[in-house]
């Protein structure tokens, strides 16, 4: 088979990879994208196939079912539902339909921008050459520029290797039935998003976390409303608890809790959500002279690796492992290859946790701002005083703004509450544009909306609060 030559070779078709390829194609570059398929599903990678998108579909279905169950018990605003039933197999079919539409859309966009897609397993030979095992035999691809976008994979625990009852988030999103009892190992965003969803769908959920509280990467103030909701849903949360392994019968996970006797948590399925690790093996990356940053490929502010014209984007390059970070990196790399002057600025990357209630963070927390040497003004506005939150019957939460005391430059914004994920763009824009408290306070916000809480929090930081 003849060799394929290109200006740009992208290894991996996830958010970072396919966005790099599309943008490079838009800029007139000759691009080849290699996608292996496999457990991550193909174009769109983990996020589209077995992560961000399908999980949000399941979360939405679980929310709808949970509300229907509540409305069958009481009618706080006059709506009464009789005996709701969920056909979970149809829910999964609906979720798969959404994924299929989006993956087809990615393929169409790549085709529109003249990106050649090679399906198969890629192995790097050197910094410009890749061998791909395709259905029709081996294919060699050479390119002037190589972009590594191999993504990440679920982290397995030595005490609970994947298989049988022990599943990752990938398998959890493809279940055809709701487990009666589900143990979730890890109280980070993946574990709590899926654990909460299955609790709403009727599973008896137990969350096991080694740290002393849930969502340890978020500050305790933001995690508190989520903990209250878990308790209301009947989710048992075991903190400061270490997993020992499976019981002899295999139907329970054995745990040891600090200050308590060892116990077993009986479960039909055990979801291990202990984080993700970069996919650095199995692609021949060891043949390249890549400087590593711990378990990740080291890059500079241009997403360049230690090898000339070899770039890396997305989860392969470390935290935060977020699809929108990978996409932004991909655009930067494509434009650099095309001769533009660009750097990747990681100062403003919003993070969203789709728990119940949702959490959004952008920039610095109050503690981080103070550790950075800033004196700060802090404004917190409770959703209990927000008209839109009350009409949504979702008043548990708040919006928090952190700004420098001297010039009122906003350093960070965070929120916890129902639907606050949709405020992430406004928060990020404020930081990106260098907004001050007066800028947000002087902007007319539509009423009644959740966004008014951002306005009010900024006013409160200025000592000019109107509604509190």
**3-class secondary structure per residue, 35-98:** ECCHHHCCCCHHHHHHCHHHHHHHHHHHHHHHHHHHHHHCCCCCCCCCCCCCCHHHHHHHHHHH
State residue 376's pLDDT score.
Answer: 98
Residue numbers of the domain that contains 393: 357-461
Respond yes or no: is residue 447 known to be catalytic: yes
- What length is written for the chain? 468
Is residue 38 situated within a structural domain?
yes
CA distance 345 to 351: 15
Q: Give the chain's domain count.
A: 3
**227 within 8 A of 357, measured Cβ to Cβ:** no
Give the angle subtended at the CA of 63 by the CAs of 171 and 156, to the nearest 5°. 25
In this structure, the answer to whether residues 249 and 285 fall within a common structural domain is: no
Cβ neighbours of residue 390 closer than 8 Å, sequence gap 6 or more = 384
d(CA 3, CA 382): 62
Q: How far is it, in rounded angstroms, from Cα 364 to Cα 352?
A: 14
**Same domain flag for 136 and 24:** yes
> Can you name the residues that pair with 183 across neighbouring β-strands?
206, 270
Question: Residue 39 above 70 pLDDT?
Answer: no
In the predicted structure, residue 41 carries a pLDDT above the cut 70:
no
| DSSP β-ladder status, 269-272 and 166-167 | parallel
d(CA 173, CA 181): 16
- pLDDT single digits (tens) 260-318: 888 999 999 999 999 999 999 999 999 999 999 999 999 999 999 999 999 999 999 99
Residues 140 and 23 in one domain: yes
Q: Which of 60, 374, 445, 447 is catalytic?
A: 447
My answer on whether 269 and 288 are in the same domain is no
Highest mean pLDDT among 76-80, 255-259, 358-362: 358-362
Token pair, residue 99, equals 């994924």
Paired tokens of 124: 């790097």
Same domain, 141 and 217: no
- Rg value, the chain, Cα: 24
Q: What is the pLDDT of residues 376-403, one digit of tens each?
A: 999 999 999 999 999 999 999 999 999 9
347 occurs within a structural domain: no
Please check whether residue 135 is in contact with residue 237, taking contact to mean a CB–CB distance below 8 angstroms.
no
Q: How far apart are CA 187 and CA 214, in angstroms?
A: 5
* Residues 417 and 318 grouped into a single domain: no
pTM: 0.95
362 domain-assigned: yes
- Same domain as 251, residue 109: no
Tokens standing for residue 105: 């859309």
φ, ψ for residue 394 (rounded to 5)?
-145, 75
Question: pLDDT tens digit string along 61-113?
Answer: 999 999 999 999 888 888 888 889 999 999 999 999 999 999 999 999 999 99
> Which CATH number is 173's domain given?
3.50.50.60
Question: First-to-last CA distance in the chain?
Answer: 72
Q: Select from 244, 274, 304 the last residue of a domain.
A: 274
The pLDDT value given to residue 76? 80
Same domain? 181 vs 115: no
111 phi/psi in degrees, rounded to 5: -65, -40
pLDDT above 70: percentage of residues in the chain: 99
Please tell me whether residues 148 and 190 are part of one structural domain: no
Helix, strand, or coil (residue 225): helix
> Across the chain, what does the average pLDDT equal?
96
**Residue at 195 is within a domain:** yes
Q: Please tell me the distance from the alpha carbon of residue 189 to that of residue 444, in angstroms, as a whole number.
A: 33
pLDDT, tens digit, 9 for 90 and up, residues 151-170: 999 999 999 999 999 999 99
Of 148, 176, 436, residue with least CA distance to 314: 148
Per residue in 447-460, pLDDT (tens digit) is 999 999 999 999 99
């Amino acid at each position: 088979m003849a060799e394929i030559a290109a200006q740009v070779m992208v290894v991996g078709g996830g958010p970072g990879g396919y966005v790099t390829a599309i943008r490079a194609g838009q800029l007139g570059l000759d691009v080849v994208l290699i996608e292996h398929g496999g457990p991550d599903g193909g174009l769109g990678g983990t996020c589209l196939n077995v992560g961000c998108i399908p999980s949000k579909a399941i979360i939405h279905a679980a929310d709808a079912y949970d509300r229907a169950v509540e409305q069958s018990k009481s009618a706080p605003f006059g709506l009464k539902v009789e005996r709701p039933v969920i056909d979970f197999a149809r829910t999964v079919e609906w979720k798969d339909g959404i994924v299929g539409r989006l993956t087809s859309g990615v393929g169409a966009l790549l085709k529109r921008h003249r990106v050649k897609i090679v399906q198969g397993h890629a192995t790097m030979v050197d910094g410009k050459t890749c061998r791909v095992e395709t259905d029709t035999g081996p294919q060699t691809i050479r390119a002037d520029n190589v972009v590594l976008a191999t993504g990440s994979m679920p982290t397995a625990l030595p005490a609970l290797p994947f298989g049988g009852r022990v599943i990752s988030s990938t398998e959890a999103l493809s279940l055809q039935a709701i487990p009666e009892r589900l143990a979730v190992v890890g109280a980070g965003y993946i574990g709590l998003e899926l654990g909460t969803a299955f609790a709403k769908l009727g599973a008896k959920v137990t969350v096991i976390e080694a740290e002393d509280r849930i969502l340890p990467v978020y500050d305790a103030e933001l995690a508190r409303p989520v903990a209250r909701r878990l308790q209301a849903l009947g989710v048992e949360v075991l903190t400061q608890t270490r997993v020992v392994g499976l019981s002899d019968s295999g139907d329970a996970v054995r745990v040891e809790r600090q200050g308590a006797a060892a116990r077993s948590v009986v479960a039909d399925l055990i979801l291990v959500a202990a984080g993700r690790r970069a996919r650095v093996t199995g692609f021949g990356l060891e043949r390249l002279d890549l400087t590593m940053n711990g378990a990740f490929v080291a890059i500079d502010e241009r997403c360049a690796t230690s090898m000339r014209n070899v770039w890396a984007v997305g989860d392969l390059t470390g935290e935060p492992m977020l699809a929108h970070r990978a996409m932004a990196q991909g655009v930067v790399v494509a434009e650099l290859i095309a001769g533009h002057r660009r750097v990747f600025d990681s100062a403003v990357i919003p993070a969203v946790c789709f728990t119940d209630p949702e959490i959004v963070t952008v920039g610095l927390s109050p503690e981080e701002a103070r550790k950075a040497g800033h004196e700060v003004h802090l404004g917190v506005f409770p959703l209990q005083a927000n008209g839109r939150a009350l009409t949504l019957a979702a008043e548990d939460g708040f919006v928090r703004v952190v700004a420098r005391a001297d010039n009122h430059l906003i350093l960070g914004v965070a929120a916890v509450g129902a639907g606050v994920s949709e405020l992430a763009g406004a928060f990020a824009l404020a930081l990106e544009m260098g907004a001050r408290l007066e800028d947000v306070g002087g902007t007319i916000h539509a009423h009644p909306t959740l966004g008014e809480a951002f306005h009010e929090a900024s006013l409160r930081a200025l000592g000019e609060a109107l509604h509190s």
